[in-house]
């Protein structure tokens, strides 16, 4: 049992690290989102470079110091989840710093020999998946009153920390290190951090890859969770034999990287290059399973094995020996974070970010190479030992967690009986990536706004948040599960748009996205059909941006589509006002439901500065339209909705 405490301790610490790095990056992004530019707070990424402080630890630290750093990390983690996003930058940043320093000190202590890293990492990943499944992809340990779970985990981690260090005397003369060369330590540090990056970017939140590929959410969980359980089942002999076969480990890493990049690249599109270019049409997925995504999950345990191998090479006599290797590795980590975010915001940061336009695969390729190259160049991968951990309790607990997770993700059924209603209520809502006007991530309040209106159809803009900048959560999934609506996410995450999703009480049919010329951010317009009053109604969710040529290209594509369909509802954040030529083009063909509402009383109610609209074809009667402005909309945009009736 002496290895159990150390292994479970590390699983809790890794879970908290994943939680805190998620909050840290998300908070930096949210604060800068409100200004549409980077500010000095983006420099908080310097917290990632804390391992440089290991230079001051030129001999093995006493266990008391390890306990202090461990408790500081747990305390900072428990504190940050209760902070606002502005303060959380520093709270979560400190937590990440304490973890990285703790890790460096831990590798210089005898306790590091007692961690079964495969089990520790697998349990941490499965726990992260579990808590997100319970929150409809929103981690329940960082939101609402369920944050008390973090307190329970923190207290458990503190108890296990004391148990771990008290099982050894202050000094252990039998503590063996790998005596690895300096070059090997650098390689192992890059490998370890690259593994944690890929877990953070993708594997701790399966919804991320489902939005790359339009893989069915429940199917991804059904496939992925048993694979993690199998990784936990691996025993000492199997792991030691496997890691000793360098060629096998190398090929496994190469296949994982190849399939991961393929899962992204096969969904990449070539955007229209000129204002006069024809739109590019991308149909919605026809099957619930994406083969490449399935193989990513199948091959993913290689990361657990890699981390186990690299930690063996990082055990040292003096923590100062890890200062530069870990600092350079975390510098690499920070660059990968910026690279991934720049693939989405390339039009708002500066010329350097434009390099990353439509190169969503690049940070994943770099992270995968960070795993593969150390395996290639480290001469001897054989570990000294793989600590034996009692697995009965672990497997029992993880099996229960897995069953609950699978039950939660598969019990959801879309669709609400419509009872032959003859009116259609359509709502358009730019949700500012789930962030309210005060800069707080506020899915719950935005959901309340929607519930008050009880629309039949919802058009969401800025809804593409299944990425690190959105905390790897999925607001479309969240709304769809809470409302029991059918949903279409719209543009896949790999395309780098800000998201145009459609949710509906009615089943969505023939869903697709079309892309028009853009010069600031990608313009992906979502189209779906529903059956209403025995007619096919075409829903078009819009969010054009950029210069005059980009907006004109979008409007022309929209009107071409409108002339091909009988019943049109085109909603969204159009980013132009009623006095613009683009507006005039549209109302020559479609009706502005706000101006057509029968309850208009004065010119002041015309809201001449609005940019959000619901346009409809002439065969709709506008029964009423309404608006909820900020801050009551819990976004930087007002919420618009209209009640429609077909008249033909």
For 312-352, write each residue's pLDDT tens digit.
Answer: 899 888 999 999 999 999 999 999 999 999 999 888 877 77
Domain 2-410 is found in CATH 1.20.1250: yes
**Predicted pLDDT at 619:** 92
Residues 55-76, mean pLDDT to the nearest whole number:
92
pTM above 0.85, yes or no: yes
39 pLDDT more than 60 = no
Task: Place 615 in a pLDDT band, splitting at 50, 70 and 90.
Answer: very high
> Which residue has better confidence, 602 or 491?
491
Task: Place 409 in a pLDDT band, splitting at 50, 70 and 90.
Answer: confident
Residues 71-84, mean pLDDT to the nearest whole number:
95
**Predicted pLDDT at 279:** 96
User: If one looks up domain 424-646 in CATH, what number appears?
Assistant: 3.60.10.10
- Per domain, the residue ranges of the chain are 2-410, 424-646
383 pLDDT more than 90 = no
Percent of the chain with pLDDT over 90: 71
DSSP state of 355: G
Task: Place 606 in a pLDDT band, splitting at 50, 70 and 90.
Answer: low
**Predicted pLDDT at 41:** 63
**What's the pLDDT tens digit per position in 497-511?**
999 999 999 999 999
Which of 129-143, 398-412, 543-557 shows the lowest per-residue confidence on average (mean pLDDT)? 398-412
Nearest to residue 302, comparing CAs of 211, 207, 194, 201?
A: 194
| Residue linked to tokens 């948040």 | 465
603 pLDDT more than 50 = no
Those residues whose C-beta lies under 8 Å from the C-beta of residue 206, and which sit 6 or more positions away, are 129, 217, 220, 221, 224, 297
Burial class (CB in 10 A: 0-12, 13-18, 19+), 611: middle
Three-state SS sequence of 157-226: HHHHHHHHHHCCCCCCCCCCCCCCCHHHHHHHHHHHHHHHHHHHHHHCCCHHHHHHHCCCHHHHHHHHHH
To 5 degrees, how large is the angle CA 199–CA 494–CA 573? 120
137: left (phi over 0), alpha (psi -120 to 50) or beta: left
Residues 247-259, mean pLDDT to the nearest whole number:
95
Q: What is the Cα–Cα distance from 462 to 498, expressed in whole angstroms? A: 5
Q: What is the mean pLDDT of the chain?
A: 90
Peptide bond into 349 cis (omega under 30): no
């Amino acid at each position: 049992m002496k290895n159990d405490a150390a292994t479970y301790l590390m699983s809790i610490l890794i879970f908290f690290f994943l939680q805190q790095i998620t909050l840290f990056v998300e908070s930096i992004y949210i604060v800068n989102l409100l200004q549409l530019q980077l500010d000095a707070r983006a420099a908080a990424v310097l917290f990632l470079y804390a391992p440089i402080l290991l230079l001051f630890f030129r001999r093995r630290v006493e266990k008391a110091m390890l306990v202090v750093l461990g408790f500081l990390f747990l305390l900072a983690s428990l504190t940050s989840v209760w902070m606002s996003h502005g303060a959380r930058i520093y709270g979560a940043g400190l937590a990440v710093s304490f973890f990285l320093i703790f890790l460096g000190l831990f590798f210089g202590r005898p306790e590091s020999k007692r961690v079964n890293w495969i089990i520790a990492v697998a349990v941490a990943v499965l726990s992260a998946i579990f808590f997100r499944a319970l929150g409809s992809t929103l981690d329940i340990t960082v939101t609402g009153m369920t944050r008390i779970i973090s307190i329970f985990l923190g207290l458990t981690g503190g108890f296990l920390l004391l148990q771990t260090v008290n099982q050894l005397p202050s000094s252990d003369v039998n503590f063996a290190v790998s005596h690895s060369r300096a070059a090997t330590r650098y390689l192992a540090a890059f490998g370890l951090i690259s593994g944690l990056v890929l877990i953070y970017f993708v594997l701790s939140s399966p919804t991320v890859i489902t939005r790359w590929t339009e893989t069915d959410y429940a199917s991804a969980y059904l496939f992925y969770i048993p694979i993690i359980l199998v990784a936990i089942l691996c025993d000492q002999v199997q792991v030691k034999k496997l890691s000793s076969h360098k060629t096998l480990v190398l090929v496994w890493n190469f296949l994982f990287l190849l399939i991961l990049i393929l899962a992204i690249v096969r969904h990449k599109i070539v955007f229209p290059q000129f204002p006069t270019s024809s739109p590019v049409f991308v149909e919605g997925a026809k099957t619930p399973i994406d083969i490449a995504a399935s193989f990513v999950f199948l091959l993913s345990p290689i990361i657990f094995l890699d981390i186990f191998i690299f930690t063996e090479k990082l055990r040292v006599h003096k923590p100062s020996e890890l200062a530069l290797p870990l600092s350079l590795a975390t510098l690499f980590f920070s660059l990968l974070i910026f690279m991934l975010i720049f693939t989405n915001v390339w039009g708002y940061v500066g010329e350097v970010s434009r390099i990353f336009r439509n190169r969503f695969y690049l940070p994943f390729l770099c992270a995968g190479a960070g795993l593969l190259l150390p395996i290639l160049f480290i001469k001897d991968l054989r570990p000294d030992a793989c600590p034996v951990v009692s697995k009965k309790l672990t497997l029992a607990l993880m099996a229960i967690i897995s069953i609950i997770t699978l039950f939660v993700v598969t019990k959801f059924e879309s669709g609400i009986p419509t009872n032959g209603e003859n009116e259609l209520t359509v709502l358009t809502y730019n949700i500012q990536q789930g962030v309210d006007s005060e800069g707080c991530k506020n899915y719950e309040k935005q959901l309340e706004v929607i519930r008050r209106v009880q629309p039949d159809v919802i058009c969401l803009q800025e809804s593409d948040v299944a990425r690190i900048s959105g905390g790897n959560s999925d607001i479309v999934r969240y709304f769809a599960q809470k409302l029991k609506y059918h949903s279409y996410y719209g543009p896949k995450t790999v395309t780098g748009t800000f998201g145009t999703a459609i949710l509906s009480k009615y089943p969505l049919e023939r869903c697709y996205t079309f892309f028009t010329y853009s010069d600031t951010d990608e313009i992906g317009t979502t189209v779906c059909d529903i059956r209403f009053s025995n007619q096919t109604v075409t829903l078009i969710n819009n969010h054009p941006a950029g210069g005059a040529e980009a907006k004109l290209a979008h409007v022309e594509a929209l009107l071409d589509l409108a002339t091909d369909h009988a019943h049109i509802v085109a909603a969204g954040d159009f980013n132009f006002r009623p006095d613009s030529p683009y507006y005039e083009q549209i109302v020559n063909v479609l009706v502005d439901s706000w101006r057509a509402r029968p309850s208009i009383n004065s010119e002041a109610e015309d809201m001449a500065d609005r940019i959000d609209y619901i346009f409809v074809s002439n065969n709709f009667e506008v029964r009423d339209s309404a608006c909820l402005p900020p801050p009551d909309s819990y976004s930087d945009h007002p919420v618009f909705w209209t009640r429609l009736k077909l008249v033909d």
